[in-house]
Amino acid sequence: MSRNALEHYAGFDWKALGYITSIVSVLFLGATAWPKPGDPAWYLPALIIGMATSVLGMGFRYLAHIPQKKKISEKADRR
């Protein structure tokens, strides 16, 4: 792989793509786990809370990633 190709791929935020993929995965898994008639009443709130906390956790991890990415970029610019 050429240096230009590596620089192009290095500039892409793969971590963000991973978090977006995980969020979509949570939505699909939640859709398939949606309570059926006759399921206990607590299933729906538990499912929604579980999905929401998972998405929030990914969002928080990405927010923590932003300053790290900025520091890496600044160090690379100094070279």
- Please say whether the beta carbons of 27 and 47 come within 8 A: no
Total structural domains within the chain = 1
For CA atoms 23, 28, 31, 33, give the dihedral sign. negative
Question: What tens digit of pLDDT does each residue of 57-76 get?
Answer: 999 999 999 998 888 888 87
Domain coverage including residue 21: 13-78
In a domain, 25, yes or no: yes
* Best CA proximity match to 10, nearest among 72, 78, 52: 72
Q: What pTM does this model have? A: 0.74
In a domain, 7, yes or no: no
In a domain, 5, yes or no: no
Question: What tens digit of pLDDT does each residue of 1-46 get?
Answer: 565 665 566 678 889 999 999 999 999 999 999 999 999 999 999 9
